A and B are shown apart, each in its own frame.
Chain A
Amino acid sequence: MPSLPVPWPWWLSGILIGLTVPLLFVLAGRAFGISTSFQQIGAMCCPRSRFDYLRNHDRRQGMWTVVFAAGIVTGGFIGAKLLSAEPPSLLPDAFHGIGGAVRLLTGGFLIGFGTRYAGGCTSGHSITGISHLNVPSLIATLCFFAGGLAVTWGAARFLF
C-alpha cells in the first residue's frame, strides 16, 4: 500500500482526528469520548457492585464505549504494523523494568481517577466539549495542561 511517511503532517492529523466527532454523531448518535470506557469495563466486571458508580451505570447504553476501545486497539495494530515503515517508538527505553512499570501504573492510576472525576478526557472535554463551547470542558482542559506542566517542570527530576 502506498503510504504517507509517518508521522502524518499536523494539519492532516488534526483534521482527521477532529472528524471523529461528526462521524460518531451521525453514524452512531454518540458524543465522542473515550474515558467512559473505563467505567463501562468496571460496571461489566462488577454488575452487582455495592458502589453506585458501577451498579447504576447503564451497561447497555455504555456498551459502545468498549466496542470503540476495541476498534482503537485494532487501529493501533494496523497503524503500527501495516502503515508504518518501521515500528513506531511509543514509550522510551527508560520505561523498561520494574521502575518503568511502577511509573506507568501510577500515571495510569491518575488517568483513570482523574478522567472519571473530571467527567472526561482529551476527547470528551478538550475536543468534543470545547468545540461545543462548553465552559466546564474549557476549564477541564486548562487543568489537564496545568497538571501536566506541573509534573513535567516540577517533578521531572524524580520521574524522567
Chain B
Amino acid sequence: MTDFRNSRSRTPSAGSHHVSVFLIGVYLGILFITSDVASWNRIHAMFLFQEARMYLIIGTAIGTSMVSMFLLRRLRVRTVGGRPIRYEPKPWHRGVAIGGLLFGAGWAITGACPGPVYAQIGAGELRALWTLAGALLGMFAYAVLHPRLPH
C-alpha cells in the first residue's frame, strides 16, 4: 500500500488537478457515446467477430497512447505540476489472469467495461445502474475475499 505521508508530500496540490481530471472525464464520456463504445450491440458484434470496428478503435487508441508517451518521454515533458511523468507498471500475479477472465465475461454480458458503464448512466440509460450496482457488489466481494485469494 502507498505510504500516506510520502504520497501527501509528493502531491501538495492534488485538489487543483480535479478540474482537469473532471474535464478529461467529460471528454472521454462524450467519446464513449459518440464512438458507440458504450453500445451493447457493438461489444456483442466484436465478440462475435462480426465487425472490426471495436478492434480498430482499441488498437488505434493503444497506438496513439504509445506514440504520444514516446514523444512525451523524448521531449522530457513534465506534468503541469512540474513533476516527471512516471508510469508504475501493473504487477503480474495469478489474479491478473483469473480476474481478467471474469471481467471479460462480465464485459460480454453487460456490453460495457467500467468507463462506458458511467457514460451509459449519464446518457440516461438508467438500466446501467444495475451494472454499476453489480460492479460495486463485486468490488466488495473482492475486498472480503482479498486475503484468501491467490495473488
Binding site for B on A (CB under 8 A): 4, 6-8, 10-32, 34-35, 37-39, 41-42, 49, 51-54, 56-58, 60-61, 63-64, 67-81, 83-84, 87-92, 95-96, 100-101, 103-132, 134-137, 139-153, 159-160
Contacts and interface: CB of A to CB of B under 8 A. Distances in A.
Contacts of A69: 25, 118
A112 to B, nearest CB: 3
A145 B110 CA distance: 14
B64 A18 contact: yes
Interface in B72-114: 72, 77, 79-81, 83, 85, 87-93, 95-114
B8 A117 contact: no
Given A42-B136, A72-B29, A104 B96 contact: no
B85 A29 contact: yes
Contact of B72 (A25, A29, A134, A148): A25
Given A18-B65, A63-B18, A119-B99, A110 B106 contact: yes
Given A18-B61, A23-B24, A79-B30, A112 B136 contact: yes
Given A7-B34, A13-B35, A75-B26, A112 B138 contact: yes
Interface of B: 1-2, 4, 7-8, 11, 14, 17-18, 20-41, 43-44, 47-48, 53, 56-66, 68-69, 72, 77, 79-81, 83, 85, 87-93, 95-115, 117-125, 127-128, 130-144, 146-147, 149
Query: Which secondary structure dominates where chain B touches chain A?
Result: helix
B128 A132 contact: no
A115 B119 contact: no
B35 to A, nearest CB: 3
A106 B134 contact: yes
A109 B21 CA distance: 26
A42 B88 CA distance: 23
Contact of B103 (A29, A60, A115): A115
